[in-house]
Amino acid sequence: MVGRNAHHSHYGLDLNGAWNKMEVSSFYHYSRHPDDYHNFVLKGMENAHYRVMDAGGFGNSDLFLKYFYEYIKMPIIRNPNMLNKTGW
């Protein structure tokens, strides 16, 4: 899901970790993610990071993952077409 942002490194998270993966049907994930998707993920990670900072929890991976789920994973679960160009 994530590839061009370093916010995950503030929380000791590996991009290949389970936190950065979701089971999705190949019906939705059949090609490269569009740039809009990548921008969405980057903005979501930035928002999650700032929410953690606002809470005084810098480095708190559990709190970051809570907001990552809220800002990135839930919208994708609600609209899996975001994974391809038809969702934008």
Which range marks the domain in which residue 14 is found? 7-87
pLDDT value at 6 more than 70: no
Note whether 15 and 3 are within 8 A (CB): yes
**Minimum mean pLDDT range among 14-18, 43-47, 59-63:** 14-18
Residue 61, in any domain of the structure = yes
Joined tokens for residue 30 = 């059949």
pLDDT reported for residue 5: 52
Compute the 3-state secondary structure of the chain and give helix, strand, coil in percent, each to the nearest 5: 60, 0, 40
pTM recorded for the entire structure: 0.84
Residue 34, in any domain of the structure = yes
Q: What percent of the chain has pLDDT over 90?
A: 55
pLDDT reported for residue 66: 97
DSSP 31: S
pLDDT tier for residue 76 given thresholds of 50, 70 and 90:
very high
Residue 2, in any domain of the structure = no
Domains: count for the chain: 1
Quick one: CA dihedral 20, 76, 41, 7, positive or negative?
Answer: negative
Rounded CA-CA distance 63/65 in Å is 5
Residue 1, in any domain of the structure = no
pLDDT value at 37 more than 90: yes
Residue 14, in any domain of the structure = yes
